[in-house]
Structure 1
Amino acid sequence: MPVLGFNITKVEMERVSLSVPGGQIEVRLSPKVKEMRLGEIRTPTGKLNGIEILFRYEIDYNPKIADGAIEGVILYLPPQKEKIDEILNLWEDEKKIDSMTFAEVVNFITKEVSPMLMLLAKEMRLPYHIPIPRVEVKS
């Protein structure tokens, strides 16, 4: 697994409207990479270098009933250790991430953050960001 560490640093959720309107409610999730830098983790066999990725995962409702964000940091280790410098240089020069790295990072963050978003939505009586399976009786 390319992600070796994961920490949440900030959670914020604000309900803007007291009532949830009827009809279609759109929930938009926006993962963003704020910063990338060289990081390290200590293991029993010594220090291991990787890429520290600071992220912000935003959730917005339309109509505007609530919004929120979760911020954190992950330690990412590319499949080839030689790619660490290549990935960091691309970030330093252009503030861009290659598509494979971005897909791996966003998929991991979404998997880790989704249960927390579900809990926050439940506690604040908001619609969930993913559809919940429902049983329907057919005649």
Structure 2
Amino acid sequence: MPVLGFNITKVEMEKKAIGVPGGQIEVRLSPKIKEMRLGEIRTPTGKMNGIEVLFRYEIDYNPKVAQGVIEGIILYVPPQKDKMDEILNLWEDEKKMDPVTFAEIVNFITKEVSPMIMLLAKEMRLPYHIPLPRVEVKS
């Protein structure tokens, strides 16, 4: 797996309304990459270089009943080690990532952060960001 480390540095959720209004409530998730830099992790076999990716995951409700943010860092190691410099140079020059790397990183972050968002929504009595399966009785 190309992600070797994952660390949450900030979790914030604020309820803006006392009650949740009825009707359609839209939950928008916005993953953003704040910074990328060279990083390393110590393993039993020695040090391993990778790319530290600082992210910000914003949660917005419409109508404005709540909003939140989760920030953290992952250590990403590309499948081809020689692409590390290419990825970092593209970020330094243009603050961009190639679509395959971006998708891989955002999918990992979403997988790790989604259970936390579910728990926060449950504790704060907010709608979940993904629909839960429901059983319906048919006559």
Q: Distance in 2 between matches of 1:120 and 1:66?
A: 11
Q: Which residue of 1 aligns with 2:137?
A: 137
Q: Identity of aligned pairs, percent? A: 85
Q: Distance in 2 between matches of 1:137 and 1:59?
A: 33
Q: Give deviations 1:27-65, integer Å, cap 9, x for gaps.
A: 000000000000000111111100000000000000000
Q: Which residue of 2 aligns with 1:94?
A: 94
SS of the aligned residue for 1:102 comes to helix
Q: Which residue of 2 aligns with 1:24?
A: 24
Alignment RMSD (CA, Å): 0.4
Q: Which residue of 1 aligns with 2:34?
A: 34
Q: TM-score normalised to the size of structure 2?
A: 0.99
Q: Distance in 1 between matches of 2:45 and 2:16?
A: 50
Deviation of 1:23 (Å): 0.6
Unpaired runs of 5+ residues, structure 2, are none
Q: How does 1:1-139 map to 2 (within 5 A)?
A: 1-139=1-139
User: Which segments of structure 1 move beyond 3 Å, counting only runs of 4 or more?
Assistant: none
Deviation of 1:94 (Å): 0.1
Deviation of 1:19 (Å): 1.1
SS of the aligned residue for 1:97 comes to coil
Q: Distance in 2 between matches of 1:44 and 1:134?
A: 46
Deviation of 1:77 (Å): 0.2
Q: Give the number of equivalent residue pairs.
A: 139
